Structure 1
Amino acid sequence: MLKKIKYSCIGHGVLRAFILTMFCLVIYSLIASFISVNAVVTSVFFVVLTTLSILYGTIYATMKAGHNGWLMGILVALFYMLAIFIVGIICGREFAFGIKEFVRLALALIVGALSGMIAVNL
C-alpha cells in the first residue's frame, strides 16, 4: 500500500538545504573578499555546495518522513533547484535554461534520489 507523502518534511528539507547554502556562501564571500579566487574554483565550489546541501536536506526530509526516500530526494532536489533559480533571477541573473543548468538539475535530481535511498535505510 502506498503511504502518503509528507509535504512538510519536503519543505523543511528544502529550507534546511537553502539555509546551509546561504551560510556557506556568506563564509565563501568573506574568504573571497580577502584572497583572489579563480573562476574554476568558484564553479567547483558551487557544484559541491549544491550537492552537499541537497544531500543534507534530503537526509533530513527522508528521516522525518521515514519512507519514499527516492521520491523525497527528487522532490527536495527539484524544489531546492527551483528556489536557487528564482533567487538567481531576482538577483539579476538572466532568465535562461541552457545545457549547463540542465546538467546541474540532472545532477541534483540524481544526488537527491540516491541520498533519499540511503537515508531511508539509516
Structure 2
Amino acid sequence: MKNIPAFKVQPDFKTLPLIGAGVLLALVFSLLVFALASLILSYTAVPERILPYLSFFTSFFSIFAGALYVSRRIGYQGWLNGGLTGFFYVLIVLVLGLFLAGELPLFSSFIIKVFLGFIFGAVSGIIGMNL
C-alpha cells in the first residue's frame, strides 16, 4: 500500500500565482457587479439603503468564486488556499478603500472583516474541493 502524506511538508510556491489569480477574479467580479449596481441605482427607483447588503453579498460571492477557482485549480488544501484568497481579497479591498475614501475602518472592524474573509474563503475552498 502506498503512503500518501496528509499534508505537504515543503512549501509550494507554485500556488501563489493561482491564489493571486483567484483574488484578481474576485476583484473583477466585484467591479462588474458594483458597476451594474451603480447603473441600476442611477436609473431606477431602487433605494440606496440596500447598498450595505449589496456590498456584503457581492464580497461574499466574489470570495466564493475566487476561492472555488483556486481550490479547483490547486487540488489540495482547499480550506487554506481558499482562506488565503479571501484574506487577500479583503485586505486589498480595505487598502483600496483607504486610498480612495481616505479612511480605514476601526481596528476591531478591520480584524472582523479580514477574519470573515478568511472563513468565507476557507469554506468556499472546502466546497470547491468536494465538487
TM (normalized to structure 1)? 0.89
1:9-46 CA deviation, whole Å, 9 max, x = no partner?
Answer: 1000000000000000000011111234232x110111
Residue of 105, 110, 113 corresponding to 2:119: 110
Unpaired runs of at least 5, structure 2: none
> What is the CA RMSD across the aligned residues, in angstroms?
1.6
User: Are 1:62 and 1:119, in contact at CA under 8 Å, matched by a contact in 2?
Assistant: yes
Structure 1's consecutive aligned runs of 4 or more residues displaced over 6 angstroms after TM superposition are: none
Q: Which has the higher contact order (CA 8 A, sep 6+)?
A: 1
| Aligned positions, number | 121
Residue of 16, 20, 32 corresponding to 2:41: 32
**Structure 2 SS opposite 1:108:** helix
Matches within 5 A, 1:1-122: 1=5, 2-3=7-8, 4=12, 6-34=15-43, 35-39=45-49, 41-122=50-131
User: Are 1:9 and 1:62, in contact at CA under 8 Å, matched by a contact in 2?
Assistant: no
Q: What's the % identity of the aligned pairs?
A: 29
**Structure 2 SS opposite 1:67:** coil
Q: CA deviation at 1:73?
A: 1.1
